[in-house]
């Protein structure tokens, strides 16, 4: 279903659609239709927010390859990989904790996407945590007030959905999911600030996350080539999942 809907809206590449289909099938198998609804809330709101005010967000100097093709398989795994691993774990080990881990990972992915896509529209420049100064909007590792509020609302969207969808849900556990999503997003910002590779355009002399800028290949000025935004996103969903699962075992079980 989700896969079909995605193709219709042209939100994914072909391989991205295949990745989304596998994610959807495993989610449905382990966490039933409610799990699919939670996955859809993440996926559809993220896709809509990415397209929203796109003319303001697009850096016209950069080659907008990803914008043209939709979400790639790499992006699907970066944001949905951890929740899919929770669905796989639930097949082999029947335990309610996997649903909480699943929701914690998706709360992080949602908080992160909302923070990036809404935060980039902030009228004040974001503050970079490592460099301890204001930087251009859109760079990893920087925070803005607007982005932080968006992160809380994004995490809450998943926590509240979980609360409303599952008969077994409790208020306490939905708070745990929101908390996990928010702090998973903070981990994302910290990883982005300290570890993510930084690219630089030698033509217009600005820092960018794009491989291409001003029709030229950018140069890497910081970090390892494999520490990309996708890896940072994937790592932060693991943190969100661990916080959610850990707090659940600690407080509820
Ligand atoms: Zn440039």
Q: How many A from CA of 220 to the centre of ligand 1?
A: 13
199 or 178: which carries more pLDDT confidence? Answer: 178
Q: How many A from CA of 106 to the centre of ligand 1?
A: 34
Residue 214 included in any domain: no
Residue 67 included in any domain: yes
Residue 132 included in any domain: yes
Q: How many A from CA of 17 to the centre of ligand 1?
A: 32
Q: How many A from CA of 210 to the centre of ligand 1?
A: 10
Q: How many A from CA of 47 to the centre of ligand 1?
A: 26
Residue 203 included in any domain: no
In this predicted structure, what is the pLDDT of residue 55? 75
Nearest to 239 by CA among 108, 144, 134: 108
**For the chain, what is the domain count?**
1
Res. 9 pLDDT band, cuts 50 70 90: low
Q: What torsion do the CA atoms of 59, 60, 63, 66 make, to the nearest 10 degrees?
A: 50
pLDDT tens-place string over residues 97-117: 999 999 999 999 999 999 999
Q: How many A from CA of 212 to the centre of ligand 1?
A: 8
Q: pTM for the whole thing?
A: 0.90
Q: How many A from CA of 62 to the centre of ligand 1?
A: 7
Q: How many A from CA of 216 to the centre of ligand 1?
A: 8
Q: How many A from CA of 63 to the centre of ligand 1?
A: 10
Find residue 16's DSSP bridge partners: none
Residue 211 included in any domain: no
Residue 208 included in any domain: no
pLDDT tens-place string over residues 13-42: 788 788 888 999 999 999 999 999 999 999
Residue 106 included in any domain: yes
Return the SS3 of 1.
coil
**C-alpha–C-alpha distance, residues 184 and 193, integer Å:** 14
DSSP 84-138: HHHHHHHHHS--THHHHHHHHHHHHHHHHHHHHHHHTT-SSPPEETTTTEE--TT
Expressed as residue numbers, the domain containing 236 is 2-53+62-192+225-251
Residue 201 included in any domain: no
Q: 134: left (phi > 0), else alpha (psi -120 to 50), else beta?
A: beta
pLDDT tens-place string over residues 120-173: 888 889 999 988 999 888 788 899 999 999 999 999 999 999 999 999 999 999
Q: How many A from CA of 232 to the centre of ligand 1?
A: 24
Nearest to 130 by CA among 214, 59, 9, 223: 223
122 neighbors 144 (Cβ within 8 angstroms): yes
Q: How many A from CA of 1 to the centre of ligand 1?
A: 40
Kind of pairing between the strands at 216-217 and 219-222: unpaired
**C-alpha–C-alpha distance, residues 48 and 62, integer Å:** 21
């Amino acid at each position: 279903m989700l896969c079909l809907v995605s193709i219709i809206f042209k939100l994914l590449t072909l391989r991205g659609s295949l990745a989304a289909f596998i994610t959807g099938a495993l989610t449905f198998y382990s966490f039933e239709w409610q799990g699919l609804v939670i996955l859809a809330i993440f996926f559809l709101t993220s896709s809509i927010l990415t397209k929203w005010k796109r003319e303001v967000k697009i850096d016209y100097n950069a080659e907008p390859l990803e914008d043209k093709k939709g979400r790639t398989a790499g992006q699907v795994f970066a944001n949905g990989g951890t929740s899919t691993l929770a669905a796989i774990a639930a097949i082999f080990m029947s335990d309610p904790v996997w649903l909480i881990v699943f929701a914690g990972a998706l709360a992080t992915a949602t908080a992160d996407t909302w923070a990036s896509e809404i935060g980039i529209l902030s009228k004040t420049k974001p503050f970079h945590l490592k460099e301890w100064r204001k930087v251009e909007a859109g760079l990893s590792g920087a925070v803005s007030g607007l982005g932080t509020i968006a992160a809380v609302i994004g995490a809450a969207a998943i926590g509240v959905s979980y609360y409303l969808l599952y008969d077994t849900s409790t208020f306490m556990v939905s708070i745990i999911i929101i908390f996990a999503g928010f702090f998973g997003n903070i981990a994302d910002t910290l990883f982005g600030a300290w570890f993510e590779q930084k690219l630089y355009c030698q033509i217009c002399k600005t820092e960018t996350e794009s491989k291409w800028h001003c029709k030229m290949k950018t140069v890497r000025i910081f970090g390892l080539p494999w520490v990309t935004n996708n890896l940072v996103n994937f790592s932060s969903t693991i943190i969100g999942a661990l916080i959610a699962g850990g707090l659940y075992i600690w407080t509820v079980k």
